[in-house]
Every structure is written in structure tokens, then in C-alpha cells.
């Protein structure tokens, strides 16, 4: 795990950071629908899993900009930027109706990432333990698929006073609207590190990366 410490005096969001870490600690969560028609068709055409394909695209997008890789070290009051962040995904067990945490290392190479994610998911099916190990996975972001519902809104709450900067992303089932497949996606970021523009930009980049993948 590598990171660099951000100089808070020269940080380009200095004033915003101070306000939302001292005066008004809060996060921002946005939900929007993405057109996943072509990604679904690509997944079917290549006999690959739509879920893993989207997880790869999401991981690539969140690693594309420093603002999405921010962290906070409470022990030293340091704002940091990780060199890379990885997805924490989940396996749902129908028999116990519980989830197992699965840690997958991100790789920009699609084939490498796909193989890793698939292997990690299969390993996760073998246990019924929750398996959360946040202490040894500080630069992992939360990526959770809500497979039972194509929802319209979702809100993630974190306790006041806890500066948590890594993204939390959820998405639900896609559904057909006007002949296209649309999927709800929710992105949560700490307001000290991101505003509406930066969160909206995640959706724009997701759409771009989907188009780029299906053209390969």
C-alpha cells in the first residue's frame, strides 16, 4: 500500500476541505441511471459476467482521478491520496441470507482483473463468515450490488465525526425503459473531498468507459 500525504495548505480544495471537516461534516450521495444496453450485449456476446465487467469499469474510473482515491489518517490528522484503490465486493449466500466480504485487487488490464474477481468470488462462496478486515485493507472501496431491486434512490449514512473519504458505490438491477436497459447507480463521497461536480463526473466517466470496453 502506497500513498502520498497531501499538503492541506496548498490543496486545491483547501477552503472546502476545512469547512466540511470542521464546520459541517457530511457526505454527498447521488443516484442516477446509466444506460447499460451495450454493456449487457457485450457481456452476452463474450460470455462474460455483466457484474464483473461493470466492477472493472467502476474500479478503473475511481482510479482515474486523485479526488476519488483520498483517505484520512486520524492518528496523524493527515489527508492522503492512495496510489491505487481496490474494490471490496460481496458474495450473498441464499441459505443463510448473509454476505461475505471479498477483497479483489484492481489491475488496469481487463483480463487480469476479470480472472482475479471471478476467482475471489468463487472463494467467497466457500465460507459463511462475514470476513471484514478493514484494518489490513485501508485502500479498498465499497462496491455493492443490490441484485434484488432496480431502485430509484439510496442513501448511505455514516456517523458524525468520522472522516471517511473512500467511495461507497451501490448499483441495482437494470431494467428496460423505452427499449434501453438502464441501471441505478449510487455514488457516495465525503463532501470535504468531493462536491456535486466530482460525483456527477463519476457517472460521465462510467458511461465513457463502458463505451470504450464494448468497442474492444
Residue boundaries of the structural domains of the chain? 3-214
> Secondary structure of the chain in the HEC alphabet?
CCEEECCCCCCCCHHHHHHHHHHCCCEEEEEEEEECHHHHHHHHHHCCCHHHHHHHHHHHHHCCCHHHCEEEECCCCEEEEECCCEEEEEEEECCCCEEEEEECCCCCCHHHHHHHHHHHHHHHCCCCCCCCCHHHCCCEEEEEEECCCCCCCCCCCCCCCCCCCCCEEEEECCEEECCEEEEEEEEEEECCCCCHHHHHHHHHHHHHHHHHHHCC
Q: Percent of the chain, pLDDT > 70?
A: 98
**Cell 481487463, residue?**
110
pLDDT at 159 over 80: no
Q: For 12-55, write each residue's pLDDT tens digit.
A: 999 999 999 999 988 999 999 999 999 999 999 999 999 999 99
66 touches 85 (CB < 8 A): no
pLDDT at 104 over 90: yes
- Provide the pLDDT for residue 162: 73
Q: For 52-73, write each residue's pLDDT tens digit.
A: 999 999 999 999 999 999 999 9
CATH number of 3-214: 3.30.559.10
Q: For 76-103, write each residue's pLDDT tens digit.
A: 999 999 999 999 999 999 999 999 999 9
Extract the C-alpha cell encoding 198: 466530482
Amino acid at each position: 500500500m502506497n500513498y502520498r500525504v497531501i499538503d492541506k495548505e496548498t490543496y486545491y480544495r483547501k477552503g472546502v476541505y476545512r469547512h466540511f471537516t470542521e464546520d459541517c461534516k457530511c457526505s454527498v450521495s447521488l443516484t442516477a441511471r446509466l444506460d447499460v444496453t451495450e454493456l449487457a450485449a457485450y457481456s452476452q456476446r463474450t460470455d462474460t459476467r455483466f457484474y464483473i465487467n461493470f466492477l472493472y469499469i467502476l474500479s478503473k474510473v475511481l482510479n482515474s482521478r486523485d479526488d476519488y482515491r483520498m483517505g484520512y489518517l486520524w492518528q496523524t490528522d493527515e489527508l492522503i491520496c492512495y496510489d491505487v484503490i481496490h474494490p471490496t465486493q460481496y458474495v450473498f449466500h441464499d441459505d443463510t441470507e448473509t454476505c461475505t466480504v471479498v477483497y479483489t485487487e484492481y489491475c488496469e488490464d481487463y483480463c487480469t482483473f476479470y480472472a482475479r474477481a471471478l476467482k475471489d468470488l468463487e472463494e467467497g462462496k466457500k465460507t459463511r463468515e462475514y470476513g471484514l478486515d478493514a484494518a489490513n485493507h485501508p485502500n479498498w472501496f465499497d462496491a455493492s450490488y443490490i441484485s434484488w431491486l432496480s431502485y430509484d434512490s439510496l442513501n448511505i449514512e455514516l456517523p458524525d465525526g468520522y472522516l471517511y473519504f473512500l467511495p461507497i458505490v451501490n448499483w441495482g438491477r437494470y431494467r428496460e425503459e423505452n427499449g434501453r436497459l438502464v441501471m441505478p447507480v449510487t455514488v457516495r463521497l465525503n463532501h470535504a473531498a468531493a462536491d456535486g461536480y466530482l460525483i456527477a463526473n463519476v457517472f460521465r466517466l462510467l458511461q465513457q468507459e463502458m463505451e470504450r470496453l464494448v468497442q474492444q
